[in-house]
Amino acid sequence: MCLSFFRRVVLLFIASVGLFTYSNVSAQSVFVDVEYGGDIFCAIKSDNSAVCNSASNVAGRTPADLQPVLDIGSGNAVACAVLVGGDIRCWGRDDFGLLSPPTNGAPYKSIGTDNSHSCAINKDDAIECWGLSSNGRLDAPAGSFQQLSVSIRQACAVDFNGAVACWGLNEEGSTDVPADLPVAQKVAAGAASSCALLLDGSIQCWGRDLPVPSAGPFVDLAMVAYGTATSGSAGVCGIDTNGKLDCVFRAYFSSGSTSIQPPQTPVPTSSGNASLSMRSVTSGCYVTSIGEIECFGFVPSSVPELDDNVAVPATTGLRAETYSNTTVELFWDAARDAFNVAGYEIQRNDEVVAFTQNGSSFLFYDMVAGESTTFAVRRVSTEGAAGPFSDSIVVVTGDDPGPETDGYQPPVRAYEPASLEALVYSSTALELVWERAQTSEIDGYEIRRNGEFIGFTSGTSFYDTVPSADHIYTYDVIPVDRDDVSVFYGFSSISVGLGDAKAEECLLHD
């Protein structure tokens, strides 16, 4: 969420609340901005420190050496921040060169980030964009701008005269800014629709027909829209001058009809809210008047508690099973509390040797027959904080604890990527997403389209643009062990027809 300078100053002076409260903050550490752009959840505190968390993207969590920030943006794969001083720092997956932001325009003032591209306002108030170049994503207009919003395939910005400009893929007219649009103070870009918060506090949208909150006057705006007028959804929320959150959610059907969608949980009715960000059509988070974070709609358990003082609980129940002279599996009690878990670090003879997102076991193939080995395990939070190690155990591979290595077959496991699905963005663009294979041997995944190799990724998603919308494409996602490419772990397949497929925004959990 990119705040204007005036808006940031107002929020920094908020002195002194919803549904989900993720922090018990003190006057010395209040939140002033929240960015809920996808799998990566970020927030900025009043001291300009920032915290980012992700359940599925370890690299997207807060870097240990992150300097104080002025503004921040996030998506499913990457987060970017404008640091105090004006440099840009990005982290996460390096899709489309997103981890190589520009430098010539420093000091930068604000930033917007999505899954495929990012844009920032530089020292001359001009916009610079980087990342995936298709569909005109990077073709920012010339001019001097004070605020911008970046969506999956398009972006919009407001200049110092209150005029709005949009660029990128013009889905359902989402970049066709009305010629008679009144003076705007903020814009929110979306696939299929875009909206502006006008100077008088009202909200106006263009592109696909979209009702808007009408109570107002509003002081903040957020929206998400995707799909088409016959297959899609959209949501618009505003915070009024009394701090009340007002939202409208709509679904579109092939019959031409529409319906108002209720949120998955009630919209909060508390007063004094500020800084609004939406992650999906019916989900979002905001900062309350006392600097806490509250969320509504679909809020997965991976959205972390942002309390600096929360201690990571210890891991319990560590035990081992020996399968052969060289193969041992560790087991421990999976977390049953509400604390958010990114994974577990495995300590072997006082050295941390592995990290696993599998919640309760880890397999070692390289034990030495007849030697004793000491193991311990500790939990790591979604913020990257490590808890205390479990009680250690000593594993001794005896003379004949099981079958010899040569004849040993490990227990059957879900090595293939699970829950493979395709998120269709347009008639020629889609993203594959899956759950990570549960084995430490996997270095990444080979992607094949109709049997032809098209890419490799170490993550759990892959973006593809297909040659034609009139075909059915079959994708194979194949785990790869780079040290031994002859090992076959199984694979997952999915067939996608794009010609009449429903287009969806990148909502990995909704």
In Å, how far are 111, 129, 162 from 146, measured between CA atoms?
A: 11, 15, 9
Per-residue model confidence (pLDDT) at position 28: 38
Instruction: List, as one string, the DSSP characters of 195-219.
Output: EEEETTS-EEEEES------S--EE
Q: Return the structure tokens found at 265.
A: 């949980």
Within 10 Å of residue 234's Cβ, how many Cβ atoms?
31
Both 82 and 215 in a single domain?
Answer: yes
φ, ψ for residue 333, nearest 5 deg: -75, 120
| Residue entry with tokens 């080995």 | 373
User: How many structural domains comprise the chain?
Assistant: 3
Both 388 and 426 in a single domain?
Answer: no
Alpha-carbon span 439 to 327, nearest angstrom: 14
The reported pTM is: 0.57
Both 34 and 160 in a single domain?
Answer: yes
Per-residue model confidence (pLDDT) at position 229: 76
Give me the numbers of helices (H) and strands (E) for the chain, helices first please: 1, 37
List the domain range (segments joined by +) for residue 106: 5-296
Per-residue model confidence (pLDDT) at position 410: 42
Give me the CATH number covering residue 344: 2.60.40.10
Both 335 and 224 in a single domain?
Answer: no
Within 10 Å of residue 385's Cβ, how many Cβ atoms?
15
Both 471 and 327 in a single domain?
Answer: no
Q: Residue 106, CB half-sphere, CA atoms under 13 Å: how many? A: 13
Helix (H) or strand (E) holding 364: strand 361-364
* Last residue of one domain, picked from the residues 348, 372, 407: 407
Instruction: Judge whether 505 lies within some domain.
Output: no
Instruction: Judge whether 171 lies within some domain.
Output: yes
In Å, how far are 36, 95, 241, 306, 330 from 369, measured between CA atoms?
A: 50, 43, 71, 45, 17
Both 379 and 283 in a single domain?
Answer: no
Both 192 and 273 in a single domain?
Answer: yes
Instruction: Judge whether 348 lies within some domain.
Output: yes
Q: What is the pLDDT along the chain (510 residues), one digit of tens a residue?
A: 443 322 332 222 222 222 222 222 233 357 788 898 777 888 888 778 888 887 667 788 888 889 999 999 998 889 999 999 999 999 988 888 999 999 999 999 999 999 899 999 999 999 999 999 999 999 999 999 999 999 989 999 999 999 999 999 998 999 999 999 999 999 999 888 999 999 999 999 999 888 888 877 888 899 988 888 778 888 898 888 877 888 888 888 876 656 555 554 455 555 455 678 887 777 888 887 667 778 887 665 445 454 444 456 778 889 988 877 888 888 887 665 434 566 788 899 988 888 776 567 788 878 888 889 999 998 876 656 677 899 999 998 765 544 444 434 444 444 567 778 888 877 788 888 887 666 556 767 788 888 777 877 777 888 888 877 767 888 888 777 655 544 555 667 788 877 544 333 332 222
Alpha-carbon span 299 to 51, nearest angstrom: 18
Alpha-carbon span 217 to 215, nearest angstrom: 7
Both 399 and 275 in a single domain?
Answer: no
Per-residue model confidence (pLDDT) at position 148: 96
Give me the CATH number covering residue 37: 2.130.10.30
Both 399 and 474 in a single domain?
Answer: no
* Last residue of one domain, picked from the residues 296, 311, 342: 296
Instruction: Judge whether 386 lies within some domain.
Output: yes
Alpha-carbon span 161 to 58, nearest angstrom: 41
Instruction: Judge whether 35 lies within some domain.
Output: yes
3-state secondary structure of 28: coil
For residue 346, which amino acid is it?
A: I
Instruction: Judge whether 178 lies within some domain.
Output: yes
In Å, how far are 51, 93, 294, 455 from 131, measured between CA atoms?
A: 23, 12, 31, 17
Per-residue model confidence (pLDDT) at position 489: 55
In Å, how far are 25, 121, 192, 462 from 420, measured between CA atoms?
A: 39, 37, 26, 11
Are 40 and 54 in contact by the 8 Å Cβ rule? The answer is: yes
Both 141 and 281 in a single domain?
Answer: yes
Q: Return the structure tokens found at 457.
A: 């990724």
Instruction: Judge whether 106 lies within some domain.
Output: yes
Are 87 and 74 in contact by the 8 Å Cβ rule? The answer is: no
Both 403 and 422 in a single domain?
Answer: no
Instruction: Judge whether 372 lies within some domain.
Output: yes
Alpha-carbon span 464 to 498, nearest angstrom: 12
Nearest to 442 by CA among 410, 398, 408, 487: 487
Both 277 and 367 in a single domain?
Answer: no
Are 392 and 346 in contact by the 8 Å Cβ rule? The answer is: no
Are 245 and 292 in contact by the 8 Å Cβ rule? The answer is: no
Per-residue model confidence (pLDDT) at position 2: 41
